């Protein structure tokens, strides 16, 4: 049933269209290897926005702000007041209101999923995920309910992860940082440095790899993860891809598999910010761990990720796009099957930290910039 409802939602999304602003929006042209980019400003004035989700039809775009606001960007680019009913967030450091995704059955159930940093004891926090229904007037989230909590709560402001991805069968994957507590990524009794897989209501599937094992969290799907701030489902084969920050160097792109250990902190291509080696690291590889699918020795500061799967811009087909916070670019990776065969850096002229990247229902790319005066931009080829 989960698979059928998700497929129905995907079919419905194919007929959605996103209106361009009624007023003339600022547009600039930039060079790229595949042609001239047209970059249109959809909205400005967002305070450190983190994620976007496209509503059906002409209803607009939901945007999270790290401070705790969920806003609606109308088709004309106007920003709404913050929606009510959003959970209280722990807005410190990298924490706050983070990812937003729609239920695969949104047109029927109007359910919105949010990830966020939640306060715990002793001034620390961890990632939480909840869901509620978007009101018909688009002004509030109703009946919000927490379905997942990272335990224990260990973050003092860093490494929450927090991307949410539904797979083809309707399972929900959540990426979780190790809260800057390195060894916990290898501890299966903790939810730090993990990717978890749950049902949409928070229940644990019986076929998760560690279900029934003593002193192991049953939600865990894979582990050995540092700070995964980008994740997306490969539309051509249904596999989950995630990207994560290395320490100083060694940002990674991984294809996530059931029960696998992705190495952190036993294996890494990076070093401490002080220049010293990672104490736990055995080198770039370690026995029993999976190496990165693709690695950046100099860290771009990877964030949101989107596969391009639309006929509007054929030059981008079978590409994956990743935001970069540190280098302030949009990274285009050309694929042959799953293999990365070419990389291009885009949008450096914006000089803004790119936090999220999504393919819109209209076939354009949309990027969100993490700034005091953050922007939502629409990207196409001329």
The number of CA neighbours under 13 Å toward the Cβ of 251 is 21
Q: Give per-residue burial for 10-39: e unless 16+ CB within 10 Å, then b.
A: eebeeebebebbeeebeeeeeebeeeebeb
pLDDT at 10 over 80: no
pLDDT in tens, 282-300: 999 999 999 999 999 999 9
Point out the catalytic residue in the list 48, 159, 245, 294. Answer: 159
Which pLDDT does position 317 carry in this prediction?
96
The model's pTM is 0.93
Strands in 374-381's sheet, in edge-to-edge order, are 27-30, 37-46, 374-381, 365-369, 354-359
**What class has domain 28-381?**
mainly beta
Residue in the block written with tokens 């609606």: 72
212: burial class by Cβ within 10 Å (0-12, 13-18, 19+)? exposed
Instruction: Return d(Cα 161, Cα 94) in angstroms, integer.
Output: 9
Q: What is the mean pLDDT of the chain?
A: 94
Instruction: Return d(Cα 246, Cα 248) in angstroms, integer.
Output: 6
User: Phi and psi dihedrals of 334, rounded to 5?
Assistant: -85, 135
Domain-wise residue ranges, the chain: 28-381
SS3 state of residue 210: coil
178 Cα distance to chain centroid: 16
pLDDT at 261 over 60: yes
Confidence of residue 15 (pLDDT cuts 50, 70, 90): very low
Active site residue 159: yes
pLDDT in tens, 318-352: 999 999 999 999 999 999 999 999 999 999 999 99
Q: Are 65 and 116 in contact, with CB atoms under 8 Å apart? A: no
Instruction: Return d(Cα 312, Cα 334) in angstroms, integer.
Output: 17
Q: Give DSSP secondary structure letters for 301-349.
A: -EEEEEEE--SS-GGGTTEEEEEETTTTEEEEEEEETTEEEEEEEE-GG
SS3 state of residue 12: helix
234: burial class by Cβ within 10 Å (0-12, 13-18, 19+)? middle
pLDDT in tens, 76-99: 999 999 999 999 999 999 999 999
Q: Are 243 and 205 in contact, with CB atoms under 8 Å apart? A: no
């Amino acid at each position: 049933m989960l698979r059928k409802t998700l497929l129905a939602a995907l079919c419905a999304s194919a007929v959605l269209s996103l209106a361009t602003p009624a007023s003339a929006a600022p547009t600039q042209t930039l060079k790229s290897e595949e042609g001239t980019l047209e970059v249109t400003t959809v909205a400005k004035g967002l305070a450190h926005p983190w994620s976007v989700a496209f509503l059906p039809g002409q209803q607009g775009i939901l945007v999270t702000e790290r401070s705790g606001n969920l806003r609606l960007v109308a088709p004309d680019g106007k920003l709404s007041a913050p929606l009510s009913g959003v959970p209280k967030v722990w807005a410190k450091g990298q924490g706050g209101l983070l990812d937003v995704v729609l239920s695969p059955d949104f047109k029927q159930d109007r359910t919105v999923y949010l990830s966020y940093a939640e306060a715990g004891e002793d001034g620390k926090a961890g990632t939480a995920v909840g869901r509620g229904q978007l009101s018909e007037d688009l002004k509030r989230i109703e009946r919000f309910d927490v379905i997942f909590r990272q335990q224990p709560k260990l973050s003092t402001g860093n490494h929450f992860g927090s991307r949410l991805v539904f797979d083809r069968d309707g399972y929900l994957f959540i990426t979780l940082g190790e809260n800057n507590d390195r060894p916990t990524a290898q501890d299966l009794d903790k939810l730090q440095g993990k990717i978890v897989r749950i049902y949409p209501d928070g229940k644990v599937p019986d076929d998760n790899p560690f279900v029934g094992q003593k002193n192991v969290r049953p939600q865990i799907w894979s582990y050995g993860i540092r700070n995964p701030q980008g994740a997306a489902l490969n539309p051509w084969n249904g596999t989950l891809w995630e990207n994560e920050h290395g320490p100083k160097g060694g940002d990674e792109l991984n294809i996530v598999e059931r029960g696998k250990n992705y190495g952190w902190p036993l294996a890494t291509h990076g070093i401490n910010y002080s220049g010293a080696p990672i104490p736990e690291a055995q080198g770039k590889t370690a026995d029993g761990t999976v190496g990165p699918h693709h690695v950046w020795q100099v860290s771009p500061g990877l964030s949101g990720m989107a596969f391009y799967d639309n006929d509007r811009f054929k030059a981008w087909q079978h590409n994956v796009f990743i935001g970069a916070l540190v280098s302030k670019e949009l990274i285009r990776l050309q694929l042959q099957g799953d293999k990365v065969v070419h990389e291009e850096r885009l949008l450096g002229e914006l000089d803004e930290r790119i936090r999220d990247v999504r393919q819109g229902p209209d076939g354009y790319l949309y990027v969100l910039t993490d700034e005091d005066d953050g922007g939502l931009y629409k990207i196409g080829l001329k």
